[in-house]
Structure 1
Amino acid sequence: MQYTRTAWIAALAIVLGASALGTAAAQEFRATVTGRVTDQSAAAMPGVTVVITSTATNETATAVTNAEGVYTLPFLRPGLYTLTAELDGFKRYTQESLQLQVGQTATLNISMEVGALTETVTVTADTLEASRADRGTVIDSKRVTEIPLNTRNPFMLSILSSGITFNGPAIYHRPFDNGAIADWSINGGWNRNNEFTLDGAPNNSIAGGNNIAYVPPVDAVQEFKIVTNSYDAQHGRSAGGAINVSLKSGTNDFHGTAYEFYRRKWLDTNWDLLKLQGEERPDHKLDQYGFEVDGPIVRNKTFFMVNWEGYKESNPNIETEHYPDEALRRGDFSNYRDASGNLITIYDPATGRLDANGNWVRAPFPNNIIPQDRINPIATNLLHFWPLPNQAPDEGCASYRCNFFLSPNLATDDFYNLATKVDHVFSEKTKMFVRYAQNYREEIRSFNGITGPAEDSQGPLERINYTGVWDWVRTVSPSFVLNLRSGLSQYVEASRTDAALGFDATELGFSADLVGQIPHQMFPRININDFTNLGRNGFGRGTTTVYSFQPNFSWLKGSHSIRGGLDMRMTWLTQKNSGAAGGMRIQHDDRFTRRDWNQGDPLNGSAFASFLLGLPTHGDINNNLFPEYRWNYWAPWIQDDWKISNRLTLNFGLRWDLNSPVWEAERRMAYAFDPGAVNPANDRIDHSVFPGDIMGGLRFIGGPDAPEKYPYDWDLNNFQPRAGFAYMLNDRTIVKGGYGLYYMNPTGTTFTTGYSITTPLVSTLDGNRTPSVTLDNPFPQGVAQPPGSSLGLETNLGRSPNYSNPNFEIPKVHQFHIGVQRVLPWGTSVELSYVGSRTRKLQTQWNGINEPSAEFRDSCNPLLGGNADFCRDRLQNPFQGVSGFEGTDRFEGATIERWDLNRPYPQFDGIEEFERNDGLVNYNSFQAVVNKRFSDGITINATYTFSRMIERWGWLDVQRMIPQEGYYWSDRPHRLTFSTVYELPIGEGRAILGESSGLLNALFGGWEVAGLFVYNTGRPWDIPDVYLDPNGERTTLNPAAINEDTDYGADIIRAISAPCTARYDDSGTLIPRSPYGPAGCSEPWFTSRPPFSSRVLAFRSEDIRRPPYRQFDINFAKTTRLAGDVRLQIRVEVFNLFNVANYDEVNYNTDLDSPLFGTIDKNNQRQSGFPRQIQLGVKLLF
C-alpha cells in the first residue's frame, strides 16, 4: 500500500504534538545526575534543593527533590562539577570533584544529616552509573590527546572498546578516510550500520556507503562514548551501536595549544615487500599542524572554542605492475610461460573449424608468434601508453607478469579541518550553543603507474564536509526541562581523473561516429586479464545532505524520570556517477586464443594475444541517470527510568521508527518485475521457433500497475521496545541486563533501470566459437539511449534488468546482555558480561529469477549423468532482428544457446532482485572490561572479547534457493585490547625527586608514557568455489591439507600444506590441475566445480583463518613548564613498535592453477598495515 493522505495527517499530528514538548536529540551527548535524597532513617526527603556547578564555567543547574526524594539534573556538559544539597534543619551536603562523562547517567544518592545549614558534610566518593542498563566505553580527553594515534583520528580509539571489530584497512585510519573508518561491527551488528553523532546531531553520510561524515581534530574533542548496548529509546536507526562525540566548550580561563607532528623517511622502517625486492625505504613526508584556543568571550556567560588543522602527506603507494614487454608488443609469444616455466600456446581464432567428432578446434600460431599484419592498429596505438618493464619477473610469477616495480608511487593528500563552537548562558534556566565545522581533502593517487590520459588514478579524489548545529536548553521548572536542537550537514565525495576527461578517442583509431555517441568523453578503460589496465572506470560525485530537527524533554514525576521526544531527519542524496564504463570499457580474456572454445586451460590462450588481434570479449558503455534520492524519517520515543529503590532502577522505552521509502525527486524509478504480464515483444517474435508466450517485464513508478511515488511499501510496524535493569547488590557491585530492538538505516538505491542503460559489447554470436566484432567497431549497433519508462514492459530487452523487492522490510536487530560490574579500590572497575544479538531480515539480492530450473541444469551436469553440450547447443534464435532487441546478441545472432532459451523470461539475460530480506546474523560473546579512571597519574583500560558470529547470507544454489550459512566475514573469535596513560612519578610534587626544582626538575620531571595494544584473531579464509573431494561430498577441509604450523613471519605464509588440485572437463573426467602437490596426492583436496553444478561450500572456512592482527603503539612525552601555565610538550610516538607485518586483510591465494595456492606471498603482496613508523611531535600548551 502507499502512504495515504490520512497517514500523512496522522504523522503530522505526531510531529506537532511532540514538538510542543521540545526537540529530541538523536543521541544525547550530555550527562545526567540523578539520585534519591534520604535522611539518616532512610526516609525520602522532599523539597531538598540540589545545585550542581561547573568548575570550569560556574554554570549552575538546580533541581528540587519531589515527594519520593528523587532529583534529576539533565543536559550537563561533560566535565568537573561540585554538587550541593540543602534543606533547613540539615547540614549542607557537598560532593566535590564530580567528574561527568559524555552520555553518562550518574547515580548519586544522598544521605542528609541533621544539623545547621552552616555545617557542611563533604564527600569525594566515586559515582556509579546505576540508573541505566546500558553498556559502553567512554574515552576521556586525557586518553584522546595522549594515547598515540596514527594520523590523529579520534574515532580510531573506538578499537579500545569490548565487542567492537574494526574491519577497515589498517593503513587508512586518517581523519579523511571517511569510508574505511566507518567499517565497524558492534556486538555482531552488520558492518557499517552504526550511528555516528557529533554534539548529538547525525554525522553519517549515505554517499560513499554510510560513511562517517565529519571527523573533528583531536584537540577539539572533549571526550566521546562508544555505546555498545543501549536500552534507551533515544537511540535508533542503527544495528545497535552508536559513537557519540562531544566537542570542547570554552571556560572562564583561556586555554590553547599549537602543535606540529612530523614524519620523514628516515623515521620509517622499510616495508617487507621492498626489503624482499632489495629496494630502499620510499620517500614519506607528513606534516600535521594546527592550533586550538578556547576561553571566555564574556566571563560566566559566553564561551568559545576554535580548532584549525592542516595536513600534508606524500605516502608511498607501492605496486607491482604487469606491463607487456617488447616481444609481446611485436606479437612474439615464443617465451610466454607460466610460473613453472611451461610454455603457453597461443591459438589462432581464424583457424576455427569442426573436426570429425563435431568439436570446434583451432590451430596454434606457428612458433607462437602472431604475424605483424594481424595486429590491430587500435591495439598498436594503445601499446604506447604502457611503459616498458623495469625488472625481470619476480620469482613465482609468470614470464609476462610482475615485471614493473612501482615505487615510491607517492600519493599526496592535502587536508584542512576547522571546528568552532560558541556557548552562551542566558540565565541559570536557559543555555544555548552553536557549532560549525568544515573540512576539505584532496588526494592524488595512481593505481596503474601511468601518467597522462591512460592513467587510472584518483586525480583527484575530493571529500568535503560542512556541518552545523544549534542547541537550546530551558529549565521550565525544577522537574521539567526542554531541549531543542537543529542540525545541518553535507558530505561530498567526488572522484575523477582530470587527465582523462575530454580525451578524443578518435586519436586511438575509434570512429568519430562511435565516439560522438559516448555520453562522457574520456580515455577508454582497457582491461586485459593478467595485465595492468589502461584508463579508469569513469567518475562519480555523491552529495549527502541531512537536515535534522530533534525535539526532547526531561520530566521528573515521583520515582520516574521520564524523557521523550521526536527524532526528525530529511536526507537527500544526489548521485552523479558515470558508471564503471563512464566513457567506454573494453575487456579481453583468452577465450578466442585458447584451444577449447568453451573451457579454459592454463597452458593455452592469452588475453593479451586477443587484445593484439583486436578481439575484445566483453565491454560496455554506461549511459546513467544522475538521480536525486530522498528519505524522510520520524521517530517519536518515550523513556522511563523508574527508580524503584536506592538499589534498583528499571528502564523502559519505546521508539517508533517511521522511515519513508526512498523516492526520486522526479519519480525516475523502476518499480518491480511483473512475471504475469505478457511482454508486448511477444507479438513480434517467431512463434514457430518459440511456441510459448514471452512473459514478464518491468513496471515503473507512476506507470500502469505501479505506485505513484515509492518503490516499496511503508513499513509502519517498526516499534522498538527497550527494557533494562540496574541492581546494586551493594555500594560497589551492580548487576545490569537488558533487551532492545533496533531497526537499521535503509540506504538502497538500485532503482534506475530504464533511466540508466548499458550498451553491451557483443563479442560472439555462436557461444565463443568465433568473434563477431573487433576493436575497429566494437559497438556496431551504436550506443543505446535511456528510454526512461517509455518502453514499459519492453525495457532492457536482451539485457539484464534489476529491480528492488516491492515488499522490502527494514532489517532489525535484537540486542541483549546481562553482566556484573564491580568497583575496586584505586578508581578501578571490572565488568563481566554475556552479550548477544540476532539480526533479522538483512538486505540480500537474488539472481535466480531468470535462471533455468535446477532440474534442467542438472541435465547438463556431467557428474549427474548430464551432458554439458546439451545446455550449450545453439538453437534457432526467435529474437533475431526483432525490434526492441537492438544492440544485443539476441538481435544479432541467428542462434541462441539452449540454456538462454530455457530461461523463464528468455527475452532477458540475468535478472537480479535487490533489497530482499533473506539474511540473518547470530552473535554470542563473553566480554570482560577492566578500567581505571585517571588518578595518581595513571589510567588503564583493558578488554577481552570471545565471540562467534554466524551468518545466513547469499546463496549456494540460486535455483533451489538454498542459502549460504557459515561464519560472517569479519568473525574474529578472540580480541584483546590494552591502553594506558602513565605520568611517571618523578619531579616536583611527585614521589621521586618531589622537592626538586630548576634544572633537575626540568630534566627528570614531566615524563609520560602512553600506549595501546590490540590483538585480533584472523578472519576466516574466503574459500574458493571448489569441491573438497572429487564428489563434492566433503564440507570441511581434509586435515592433511591444513598447515598446522603456519609461520606468519615467513616470506611465504602457507595455510595449505601443498596445493593438490584438479579440474573437471565437460565429460566429467577429473584432470590433475596442479603438479605442485605433495607426494602421494592421489585424490585432490581441491577440485574446481564441474560445469552446470551448484556451490556446496560456505563462503568461508572455519578451518583456516587469515593471519592475526597485532598493533602496539607507544608515546613518550616530556612536558616542561616554561612560564606560568605555559608548557612545552615534546613527543616521540612509535607506531607498530615491534615492526609486526600484518597481513590480516590479505586473503590466501585461491588460484587452483598456481603453485602459491593457499599462501600469501610477501614477495608480491604489500602488508595490510604500516611497518614501524616514528612520529615526532611538539605542542605548546597554555
Structure 2
Amino acid sequence: MKSKAAKTTMLAVLILLPSLVSAQTHRASVRGTVTDPNSAVVAGANVQVINTETNESRTTTTDEDGSYAVSSLPPGPYTLTVERDGFKKLSRSLSLQVNQELRLNASLDVGLIQDSPDDIYAPAEVLKKDSASLGTVIENPQVVGLPLDGRNFYELSLLVPGAVPPAPGSAGSVRGDFSFSVNGAREDSNNFLLDGVYNVDPKLNTFAVRPPVDAIREFEIATSTYDAAFGRNPGAQVNVVLKSGSNDLHGSLYEFHRNAALDARNFFAPGNEPAPKYIRNQFGFSFGGPIRKDHTFYFADYEGTRSREGITRVTNVPTLQERSGDFSQSLLGIPRDPSTGQPFQGGVIPSFFIHPIGRAIAALYPLPNRTAPFANFVSSPTQRDDNDHFDARVDHFLSNVTTLVFRYSLGNRRFFEPFAGPTLSAVPGYGNDVPRRSQNAMVGVTHVFSPKLVNDARFAFNRVASAVNQENQGTSVNRVVGLPELSGNSRDFGLSFITITGFSPLGHEGNNPQDTVTNTFQILDTATYVQGNHLFKFGADIRAVQQNGFRDVQSRGLLNFSPFAYTGVALADVLLGLPLVTGGARVDNAQHLRSQSYHFFFNDSLRVRRNMTLSAGLRYEYNSPPVDATDRANLYDSATRSLVPVGTSGMPRGGYETDKNNFAPRVGLAWTIGAEEKTVVRAGYGIYYDTSPLAPGEALYFNKPYFDFNLFFPLPGLPLTLSDPFPAFFPFPLPDSAQAIQRDLRTPYMQHWNLNVQQQLGSNRVLEVGYVGSKGTKLLSARDLNQPQPSALPQGLPFVPRPVPQFDEINTIESRASSNYHSLQARLQQRLSGGLTMLASYTWSKSIDDASNFFPSAGDPNYPQNSYDLRSERGRSNFDVAHRLSVSYVYDLPFGKGRTYLGDDGAWSKLLTGWQTSGIVTLQTGRPFTVALLRELDNSGTGISALGFGANDRPNVAGDPSLGQRSPERWFNTAAFTFPPRGSFGNAGRNILDGPGYHNVNASLVKNTALSETMNLQFRAEFFNLFNHPNFNLPDNFLGSPSFGQVTSAREPRHIQFGVKLLF
C-alpha cells in the first residue's frame, strides 16, 4: 500500500510540474549580445544554431537590448548565424561542451546579406564568464589519447585540481574499482551521471556502468560551487556524455594487449623466484551513423576484457612434522601438556592425544615450499577478471521542435580473487567469486515550446546486481574435516574461518556470502526559460530505490586458537581439539530496503551587466530513511535499553526521523575585467547535502532474532572442543551485540566556497588560480555507545562489564563527524591548438576530520579508540595529500605531411607523418596513517567486538616519531611508540605520520597511418610507470607486529601495453 502511494505521488509530481528541470544537466547553452559597428545593440536579429553533425537547428531573435540565448543544446559542433536587414550575415563555427554556458557576443557589419563573408571559426571559449562553478572538461582528444591502464576513463578525474586518490584499502577502491575524493569530500560523496541521468550503485555510491573510452564524447568533473541544478552529493559531479550518431558513418575497432613478459619486477619480488603470471586483452568496437539522414541516428559499442593475473602471497604453514604433532624442530617452541603444564616429552604430542578433527584441519595446509623462517610458503594462484560492456543509443527528430532519445548500457563482470583480503587466508582455496551485472537505461523527450522555453523529460532505470561468494560455494569443507554446519543452506557451505597464531588463517571470509540487487527508478522533467538577461532553471529529480538481498555474516562460524590458551603453541591446541573461542551466527535477515528522494530547485543566471553575471539558486532535498518493505527488523532503543521492532513503540521504520529541512542556497559571481575580456574574477558559496550510501542502512538487519550471533568459550569443568565447537546449549551465553541508529540522524552536508581568477593566455589557453575551501557537518560515523571503561582485567576474557550489562557492544550510526578543507589550487589548460592539448593541475591543501568515512581503510579504522572522547579522533583525513601536481598532454608531433616540418612528399615525410605522443606525470606527497596496537591485544581492556568493531587501541608516543632519513626498512621512529599501561588508552593521535609519496610517469607513442581519406590505422605503445620508480605502500603500522615500521610492499612497477585501432 505504501509502495503504491509513493508511485502515485511520483506520478502526480510529474503531471503537476510539466516544466520542471532536471536536477542534473548535461546540456549546454549559448548566449550573448548582438551589436553594430558603433557598439549599439541590434534588436530583432535572427539567430540560428545548427548542429553540423545532425543538422538539428534552433532559432531565436534578439531582444530590445540586443541579447539572445539558446538553451538545452546537446554538446557537439555547431554553426551560429546572425542575420538582420541592413547588415551582413555573420556566421561562426563553435563547439559546445557538456554543461557549458558559452557567452558569444556578435558585432554585425553594415551591408547586404549577400555580401556576407565566409564562415569564421570561433575558438572554444576557455574562460567561464557566466558561471562561478569550478570544474574541468576532459575533452575527447584527452579521453582517447591519454595512456590508461585498464582503459578506465574515470581515472582521468584525478587530473583536475582538488582531486586525490582514495585512501588505501577504502571501501570504494577494492577489487580494482575506482574512487576518488575532491576538495575534502569523502570518496562516497561523488555523483556519477551518464547523459544527465543517475549512474550510481547506491549501496556504496560508486559508479554503476562504465562505458569504454571509444564511446565517450567528453565528460566534466564539477568540483565546487556548482549551481542549484546539481545535487544529491557534495563531492564531484562527474557528468559523462556518450557519443551519438550523425549523418556520417564513424567508428572504431581495437585490441589492447598487456603481458607479464613486458613488465619489470616488483621492488619486493624475490629475485630467485619466477615473476607471477599476467596477461590481459581488451578488445571492442564502436560505430554510429544515420538510420534516416537528418532524422534518425544510432550509436553502439562493445568492449570485452579478459585478464589473468598471478597474485603472490608469502605466509607460514606447518611443516609435515608439525602437522603430525612433532614440534621437536619447530621454531614455535615445545608445547605443554595442558593436564600437567609440562612440555611434551621430546616435543612430540602422543598420537592418542591428537583429535581427528584437529588433524584434518592441520592437513588442509599445503606443505612448505621455501626455507625462510616464518615465511616458508609462497603461492601465485590466478586471479580472473572477465568484463563485458555494451551501449546502444538511438536519436530521432520527431519534428523540428521535438526529439527523442533512447539509450541502454550493460556491464557484466565475472571476477575471482584467490585471496579474500590481507588479514584473511594467505593459502589458496579460500578466495571469492565476485560477479557484478549493471544496467542503465534512459528514454528522453525534448520539446521546444518557443525560442525561450525548452522542456526535456527523461525516464531512467538503473540496476546493479552484485555478489561476493566464497570459492567453491556449495561444497561443505566443514563436513569433510568433521566440523558441524551452522546453516543448512548450501549457499553458506564452505569452511569456518580458523585463526591459528603463527600461521596463515584458514577458511572463507566471514562476511560472505552476500548478494544484492538494487533498482533505481528516476523521473526527470527538464526545462530552461530565457527572459531578457535572465536564464532560469527550475526543476525536480524524483527517485525510488529498492535493494533486495542477503548477507550471511558468520554463517559458517569462526574458531580461534591462541598460544595464550592451553599448550603455548596454537597449532598444538588445534591438534588437541581445544579452541580458545568459537562463534557463529544463525541468520534469517533477508534485506528489502526501500527509499525515495524528492529534489527540487530553482536557479537564475542573471547578466547584471555586460561583463558581470550573478547566479543565485535554492535547492531542496527530501530523502526518506531506508526502511524494510515488511518492517522485519529490530533496533536498539536507548530509552528502554532494549531491542524494539521498527514501526512500533515510537521506533521509526528506518530507525530515525526524516530530516525535512534540507534547504541548500547557492550564489555565485563571475566578473569579466578589461576591454579585451581576458580576465575573469569568480567567487561562489553554496550548501550541498549528501545522500548517504545504502550500506549503513543494513544495520536494520543485524539484531536478534533475525541475526543471532553467539560466542562460545571454555568454562571450568566444561571444555570447548572441536567435537562440539558450536554447542546448541551453552550455560553462560554472552550478551548480544546490538545495532542502533541515532534517533535524530541528520542528512550530512558540506559548505563550499571559493575565490579564483582566470586569465586567458592566447586564444586557447587559460590559467586559473584560486582559494577553495569546504566544511563538512553532520557526517556519518559510528561508535560503541556501550564501550566499557578501560580495565586491567586479564587479556583474552570473552566478556568485559559494560554500562548496559544486557548487551555487548552497541554499534551506533550517528551524524556527528565533521571536516574542514582549505586549499590553493591552480590549473593551466590548453585546448587543442597546434596539435597540443594540455592540462596541468596543482593543489596545496589540508583536510582535517574526525572520521574520513563510515568504513575502514588500510591506514585508519574510522572508528574511535575511545567512544567517549571523540575530540581525540581529530586529525588529518585519511585521504589528505598536502601537495599534488598532475600534468597531462596529447601532442601531434609537427612532422610530416600537413605539419610544420618535412611537409613535402619525400621519404622522411612519409616516415614521420602521423606520430603522436601523450603522457600523464603525477607527483604527490604521502598520505597520513595511524599507528595502532594489534587488535587481538585489547590493551585497554574495552573488549573486542564480535562483529569487528572496537579494539582500536593506539600506543603512547614520546618524542618525534618522524625520521629525517626514511627507508623501507625503517620508515618512522618506532622507538617513539610504547605500549600504554594495561587498562588505559594511548596518547598517540590519529593520522600523525606520513606514508610514502607517489611519483609516476605514464606515456604513450602512437603512429597513425591513413589507409584512405576516411580510414586510419593506429598503433599504440603505452608505458606505465615509465621510469620504474618504486612507489611504496603504507608501512606496517601495528605496534607488536614483527615488521612494525617497515614497508613490505610496493605498487606496480613499469609495464607496457600495446594496442591497435582501426578508425573510420
TM-score (norm 2): 0.91
For structure 1, list consecutive stretches of 5 or more residues without a partner in the other structure: 338-342, 352-361, 394-398, 595-604, 678-695, 785-795, 861-867, 875-888, 890-896, 1061-1084
Residue identity matched to 1:58: N
Alignment match of 2:401 (pick from 419, 424, 429):
429
Note the C-alpha offset of 1:782: 5.5
Aligned position for 1:236: 231
Aligned position for 2:725: 778
Query: Residues of 1 paired with 2:499 and 2:795: CA distance?
Result: 27
Note the C-alpha offset of 1:480: 0.6
Q: Higher mean Cα deviation, 147-156 or 616-625?
A: 616-625
The answer to whether the 8 Å contact 2:537/2:604 transfers is: yes
The answer to whether the 8 Å contact 2:470/2:494 transfers is: no
Alignment match of 1:1150 (pick from 1028, 1031, 1038):
1038
Counterpart check, 1:413 vs 2:391: no
Aligned position for 1:917: 815
After TM superposition, the structure 1 = structure 2 runs for residues 680-829 of structure 1, keeping only pairs within 5 Å, are 696-707=641-652, 709-730=653-674, 731-747=677-693, 748-749=696-697, 750-752=699-701, 753-765=703-715, 772-781=719-728, 798-829=735-766
The answer to whether the 8 Å contact 2:875/2:991 transfers is: yes
The answer to whether the 8 Å contact 2:412/2:438 transfers is: yes
Aligned position for 1:221: 216
Aligned position for 1:606: 569
For structure 2, list consecutive stretches of 5 or more residues without a partner in the other structure: 852-862, 941-952
Note the C-alpha offset of 1:435: 0.7
The answer to whether the 8 Å contact 1:562/1:641 transfers is: yes
Aligned position for 1:660: 624
* Cα distance per residue 1:134-164 (max 9 Å; x no partner): 1111111111111111011111111111100
Aligned position for 1:308: 302
The answer to whether the 8 Å contact 1:586/1:620 transfers is: yes
Aligned position for 2:56: 59
Counterpart check, 1:850 vs 2:739: no
The answer to whether the 8 Å contact 1:1055/1:1148 transfers is: no
Residue identity matched to 1:751: L
Residue identity matched to 1:651: S
Q: Secondary structure at the match of 1:466?
A: strand
Note the C-alpha offset of 1:456: 4.5
Bigger Rg over Cα: 1
- Label 1:441 to 1:719 Cα distance change in 2 as closer, same or farther (>3 A): same
After TM superposition, the structure 1 = structure 2 runs for residues 615-626 of structure 1, keeping only pairs within 5 Å, are 615-624=578-587, 625-626=589-590
Counterpart check, 1:526 vs 2:498: yes
Query: Residues of 1 paired with 2:604 and 2:82: CA distance?
Result: 25
Note the C-alpha offset of 1:323: 1.4
Alignment match of 1:390 (pick from 355, 362, 369):
369
Aligned position for 1:505: 478
Query: Residues of 1 paired with 2:411 and 2:3: CA distance?
Result: 41
- Label 1:178 to 1:433 Cα distance change in 2 as closer, same or farther (>3 A): farther
Query: Residues of 1 paired with 2:164 and 2:980: CA distance?
Result: 34
Counterpart check, 1:49 vs 2:49: no
Residue identity matched to 1:1151: L
Query: Residues of 1 paired with 2:980 and 2:1024: CA distance?
Result: 45
Aligned position for 1:1135: 1024
Residue identity matched to 2:661: N
Note the C-alpha offset of 1:117: 2.6
After TM superposition, the structure 1 = structure 2 runs for residues 842-991 of structure 1, keeping only pairs within 5 Å, are 842-847=779-784, 849-852=785-788, 854=789, 857=790, 868-869=792-793, 899-900=800-801, 903-914=802-813, 916-953=814-851, 954-960=863-869, 962-991=871-900
Q: Secondary structure at the match of 1:800?
A: strand
Alignment match of 2:982 (pick from 1072, 1078, 1091):
1091
What is the aligned length? 1022
Query: Residues of 1 paired with 2:412 and 2:11: CA distance?
Result: 40
Identity %: 30
Aligned position for 1:1015: 923
Q: Secondary structure at the match of 2:143?
A: helix
Note the C-alpha offset of 1:55: 2.0
Alignment match of 1:203 (pick from 199, 204, 213):
199
Alignment match of 2:88 (pick from 88, 91, 108):
91
After TM superposition, the structure 1 = structure 2 runs for residues 568-579 of structure 1, keeping only pairs within 5 Å, are 568-579=542-553
- Label 1:206 to 1:370 Cα distance change in 2 as closer, same or farther (>3 A): farther
Q: Secondary structure at the match of 1:911?
A: strand
The answer to whether the 8 Å contact 1:456/1:497 transfers is: no
- Label 1:69 to 1:520 Cα distance change in 2 as closer, same or farther (>3 A): same
Note the C-alpha offset of 1:738: 0.3
Counterpart check, 1:1159 vs 2:1046: yes
Aligned position for 1:489: 462
* Cα distance per residue 1:85-133 (max 9 Å; x no partner): 122222222222x121112111112233333333436654432321111
- Label 1:721 to 1:507 Cα distance change in 2 as closer, same or farther (>3 A): same
The answer to whether the 8 Å contact 1:622/1:756 transfers is: no
Alignment match of 1:191 (pick from 187, 190, 198):
187
The answer to whether the 8 Å contact 2:425/2:508 transfers is: no
Alignment match of 2:611 (pick from 634, 647, 657):
647
Residue identity matched to 2:1045: G
Counterpart check, 1:632 vs 2:596: yes
Alignment match of 1:994 (pick from 888, 897, 903):
903
TM-score (norm 1): 0.82
Query: Residues of 1 paired with 2:10 and 2:186: CA distance?
Result: 32
- Alpha-carbon RMSD: 3.2
* Cα distance per residue 1:765-795 (max 9 Å; x no partner): 47xxx873111101222699xxxxxxxxxxx
Note the C-alpha offset of 1:369: 4.0
The answer to whether the 8 Å contact 1:759/1:783 transfers is: no
Residue identity matched to 1:66: D
Query: Residues of 2 paired with 1:235 and 1:928: CA distance?
Result: 24
Counterpart check, 1:559 vs 2:561: no
The answer to whether the 8 Å contact 1:234/1:638 transfers is: yes
The answer to whether the 8 Å contact 1:1150/1:1157 transfers is: yes
Note the C-alpha offset of 1:59: 1.5
Counterpart check, 1:292 vs 2:286: yes
Q: Secondary structure at the match of 2:556?
A: coil
- Label 1:504 to 1:335 Cα distance change in 2 as closer, same or farther (>3 A): closer
- Label 1:219 to 1:345 Cα distance change in 2 as closer, same or farther (>3 A): same
* Cα distance per residue 1:435-487 (max 9 Å; x no partner): 11112111233118999999554553211111111122111011111011111
Aligned position for 1:1043: 963
- Label 1:1149 to 1:674 Cα distance change in 2 as closer, same or farther (>3 A): closer
Aligned position for 1:75: 72
The answer to whether the 8 Å contact 1:493/1:541 transfers is: yes
Residue identity matched to 2:17: S
Q: Secondary structure at the match of 2:910?
A: helix
Q: Secondary structure at the match of 1:1003?
A: helix
Query: Residues of 1 paired with 2:796 and 2:828: CA distance?
Result: 67
Note the C-alpha offset of 1:910: 1.9
* Cα distance per residue 1:26-76 (max 9 Å; x no partner): 421122112223344444433222111122222212222233433222222
Residue identity matched to 2:737: S
Q: Secondary structure at the match of 1:273?
A: coil
Residue identity matched to 2:700: F
After TM superposition, the structure 1 = structure 2 runs for residues 394-405 of structure 1, keeping only pairs within 5 Å, are 399=373, 401-405=374-378
* Cα distance per residue 1:149-208 (max 9 Å; x no partner): 1011111111111100111669999xxx8875442111110122100011111111123x
After TM superposition, the structure 1 = structure 2 runs for residues 320-335 of structure 1, keeping only pairs within 5 Å, are 320-335=314-329
The answer to whether the 8 Å contact 1:938/1:981 transfers is: yes
Note the C-alpha offset of 1:797: 7.6
Aligned position for 1:473: 446
* Cα distance per residue 1:931-987 (max 9 Å; x no partner): 000111111110110000011234343245544111111111000000111111111
* Cα distance per residue 1:510-567 (max 9 Å; x no partner): 358x676999333333222342232212311112211111111100112110011101
